[in-house]
Structure 1
């Protein structure tokens, strides 16, 4: 059994799980499934390893269904299909309650969203594969090669689903930015961001997408293999993404930007009353955070270490304002 089968497949799948899945209340379950996968894979018990991997996969499916339930318009056919599934025997009042109905029926809900028939069938096939080894058939049906193929298929499917989810994620994030009730002009709290992460079951992959869209990933790199601090790092990451958003969004968001209490020091740069009609988020960002043209910054960063130092200085200023420890970034 090579190292990739042991560790790599988990590293590829876990970023699709909610960040708060590694919180104290849920961490035991994740650790349990990881141990079950790794120990069985190392002992060449490939079928049992796949059972644990399949449970992680279904956790991702449940997470997606739960988020769609709370964010799709009420007129969407998805809600009708969900209520049909929600009748008996228990109310589906949490993501993991979705494990009560038949798994294939849960996966089938995604067809009423935007998942095509062939992809739904592929996902349902993982349930069939799991069932083939969950009963006493008298045969050893899982080899290392079979495990590799099944896992490759799982990863293809979750990647496909994540890509389809992008427009929904855009809408969720946009609504979060528009909701001025999340922010207090007098005092900034990280609570709105934490609620955003938790209520929408935001995953590391979701943050990667937002970061790529808003270019923040070009500014900072998150250190890898820091599982114990991943939630904390992701909160910082999202916060910096929010800052970067104001470089490219429309001026509709200017009021939200002005009311972000954490950034009150922007008043040193501009007076909102004097430039109300000429408010420029990008100019504020460039002056305060980079103090340079964005394109120039990216071009020179590769060849000029002083720019890296300047960026570090700006990050330290943000640390002072936010109280965040950004030492997890490099």
Structure 2
């Protein structure tokens, strides 16, 4: 159970709507309740849904930060699906697309076909588990724990590939927020919380990447002092004592 909780550090710290927050909390509760009561098959289903939510959030960050690449990734989709995804206002719109198909977007962060094939195997495991086929694939805690270890390896691998997207997202945020009189919130902490963390669906792992950003690379920018103030506000509010393997 303790290892399984690591997935939480890859999920957003805040959401755009209470419904999204409630949904993730519901999945965690479903996982923990079934795990505690030995219903490992159903615990896996909830954990898989949390994992797919993580993937949706990563693809959403690509959509926001690299809209041109995201649009290219829609080649081959039907016009209605393409329109729906381009106009999406929430990451959960991706759930309308077949899970195996949505994994194709991970090519935009340099995941190769072999890696995506491995991720798709998790979808196959979910499909096998969710159908009334007379089999209990996760009948023991050890079996589920082994699968959770595998899932967390996949999640961390995807997070590592997402690093350039997060770095660009943070750089653009800093540059756009460098003028305290022009940005949404004059106070650096408010700007960080509302526009970056909340607006971009950032997880603690994403924040760890932001904290490692080379601020000195922006020294020539006229708003460097305010940029440093923003970065310091991020560190003060969100820096953790435990180093992240993804950072």
TM-score, length-normalised on structure 1? 0.61
Paired position in structure 1 for 2:84: 91
> Is the aligned partner of 1:183 residue 2:175?
no
Structure 2 unaligned residues grouped into runs of 5+? 242-247
Paired position in structure 1 for 2:135: 139
Which structure is richer in relative contact order (CA contacts within 8 A, separation 6 or more)?
A: 2
Q: Please give the residue correspondences for 1:156-171 in structure 2 after superposition, counting only pairs within 5 Å.
A: 156-171=153-168
Q: Distance in 2 between matches of 1:182 and 1:128?
A: 49
TM-score, length-normalised on structure 2? 0.80
Aligned length: 229
Q: Distance in 1 between matches of 2:19 and 2:134?
A: 38
> Is the aligned partner of 1:251 residue 2:246?
no
Deviations 1:275-317 (A, max 9, x none): xxxxxxxxxxxxxx9xxxxxxxxxxxxxxxxxxxxxxxxxxxx
Cα deviation for residue 149 of structure 1 reads: 2.2
SS of match in other structure, 2:84: coil
Structure 2 residue corresponding to 1:26, chosen from 20, 23, 31: 20
Aligned-residue Cα RMSD (Å) equals: 3.1
Change (3 A) 1:329 1:152: closer
Structure 1 unaligned residues grouped into runs of 5+? 1-5, 215-244, 264-288, 290-317, 319-324
Residues 15, 203 of structure 1: 8 Å contact kept: yes
Residues 109, 161 of structure 2: 8 Å contact kept: no
Q: Distance in 1 between matches of 2:62 and 2:98?
A: 19
Residues 19, 204 of structure 1: 8 Å contact kept: yes
Residues 37, 48 of structure 1: 8 Å contact kept: yes
Q: Which moved more, 1:37-46 or 1:14-23?
A: 14-23
Q: Distance in 1 between matches of 2:92 and 2:158?
A: 19
Deviations 1:214-255 (A, max 9, x none): 5xxxxxxxxxxxxxxxxxxxxxxxxxxxxxx65x334213x2
Cα deviation for residue 42 of structure 1 reads: 1.4
Residues 103, 116 of structure 2: 8 Å contact kept: yes
Q: Distance in 2 between matches of 1:261 and 1:59?
A: 32
Deviations 1:169-210 (A, max 9, x none): 211111112225652289823443221223322111011222
Q: Please give the residue correspondences for 1:88-237 in structure 2 after superposition, counting only pairs within 5 Å.
A: 88=80, 91-92=84-85, 93=88, 94-144=90-140, 145-180=142-177, 183-184=180-181, 188-189=186-187, 190-193=189-192, 194-211=194-211, 213=212
